[in-house]
């Protein structure tokens, strides 16, 4: 029973209804679509897989794992901010993390320090009786689901096409979560350059629906 309750708590924190404002961020996807890099379900799936495997998906997963295992949250927060490749990416992780902390304060009735999103989630999840890879997998799934929702609106994709892409990511998310659960900060490396460039270029996009 405690494990079921813990799963429900984590699902609540990572759901679209939790007030982090995740719906307002596209992680550079809006720019990638405007530039013609993402045009359909296939190109979106490729873009999403790269971001999860080689971009913020992997680095955030490792930061979450390290925080969940009890490493210093302040140092991890500093690293998370340093890893943000652009002003928009920094705003994305810091503002969502601060909103997550405010919501946790309201739920738990205790002061919670605002930190970058994966570190904030690690702080809240530390006492849950769950394995690290379970927490990381649900975190990555939430990240991917938010980008699927953005793609459905922007590409546009049909709802079923979007859900098919998300389902195709389940195996990749599982593998990343299992690797990240054992990883250290020295294992962090990113190479999703086009996604980072898209986030930079998005700052000057004329018409924008998303903040990043």
HEC assignment per residue over the chain: CHHHHHHHHHHHHCCCCCCCCHHHCCCCHHHHHHCCCCCCHHHHHHHHHHHHHHCHHHHHHHHHHHHHCCCCHHHHHHHHHHHCCCHHHHHHHHHHHHHHHHHHHHHHCCCCCCCCHHHHHHHHHCCCCCCHHHHHHHHHHHHHHHHHHHHHHHCCCCHHHHHHHHHHCHHHHHHHHHHHCCCCHHHCCCCCHHHHHHHHHHHHCCCCCCCC
What is the separation, in whole angstroms, between the first and last Cα of the chain?
Answer: 39
Signed CA dihedral, 13, 116, 188, 132: sign only: negative
pTM higher than the cut 0.95? yes
- Examine residue 20 and state whether it is found in any structural domain, yes or no: no
- Examine residue 133 and state whether it is found in any structural domain, yes or no: yes
pLDDT for position 192 = 87
Range of the domain at 127: 2-12+26-202
Task: Tell which residue, 10, 5, 9, 8, has the closest CA to residue 133.
Answer: 10
Q: State the residue for tokens 């340093």.
A: 82
- Examine residue 67 and state whether it is found in any structural domain, yes or no: yes
What total number of domains does the chain contain? 1
pLDDT for position 212 = 87
Q: Based on the number of CB atoms within 10 Å of its own CB, is 173 exposed (0-12), middle (13-18) or buried (19 or more)?
A: buried
- Examine residue 21 and state whether it is found in any structural domain, yes or no: no
- Examine residue 211 and state whether it is found in any structural domain, yes or no: no
The enclosing domain of 47 has a CATH number of: 1.10.4190.10
- Examine residue 208 and state whether it is found in any structural domain, yes or no: no
Output the tens digit of pLDDT for each of the chain's 212 residues. 589 999 999 999 999 999 999 999 999 999 999 999 999 999 999 999 999 999 999 999 999 999 999 999 999 999 999 999 899 999 999 999 999 999 999 999 999 999 999 999 999 999 999 999 999 999 999 999 999 999 999 999 999 999 999 999 999 999 999 999 999 999 999 888 888 898 889 989 887 889 98
- Examine residue 209 and state whether it is found in any structural domain, yes or no: no
Distances, alpha carbon 181 to alpha carbons 64, 136, 165, in Å:
9, 8, 24
Q: State the residue for tokens 């304060």.
A: 105
- Examine residue 65 and state whether it is found in any structural domain, yes or no: yes
pLDDT for position 1 = 55
């Amino acid at each position: 029973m405690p494990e079921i309750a813990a799963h429900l708590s984590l699902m609540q924190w990572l759901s679209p209804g939790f007030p982090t404002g995740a719906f307002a961020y596209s992680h550079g996807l809006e720019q990638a679509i405007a530039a013609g890099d993402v045009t359909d379900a296939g190109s979106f799936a490729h873009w999403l897989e790269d971001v999860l495997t080689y971009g913020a998906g992997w680095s955030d997963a490792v930061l979450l794992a390290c925080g969940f295992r009890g490493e210093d949250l302040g140092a991890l927060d500093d690293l998370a901010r340093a890893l943000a490749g652009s002003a928009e990416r920094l705003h994305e992780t810091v503002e969502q993390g601060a909103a997550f902390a405010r919501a946790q304060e309201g739920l738990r009735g205790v002061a919670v320090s605002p930190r970058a999103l994966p570190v904030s989630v690690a702080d809240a999840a530390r006492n849950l009786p769950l394995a690290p890879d379970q927490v990381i997998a649900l975190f990555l799934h939430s990240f991917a689901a938010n980008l699927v929702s953005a793609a459905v609106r922007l590409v546009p994709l049909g709802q079923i096409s979007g859900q098919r892409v998300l389902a195709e990511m389940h195996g990749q998310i599982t593998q990343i979560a299992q690797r990240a659960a054992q990883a250290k900060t020295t294992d962090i490396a990113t190479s999703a350059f086009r996604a980072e460039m898209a986030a930079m270029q998005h700052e000057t996009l004329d018409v924008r629906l998303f903040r990043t």
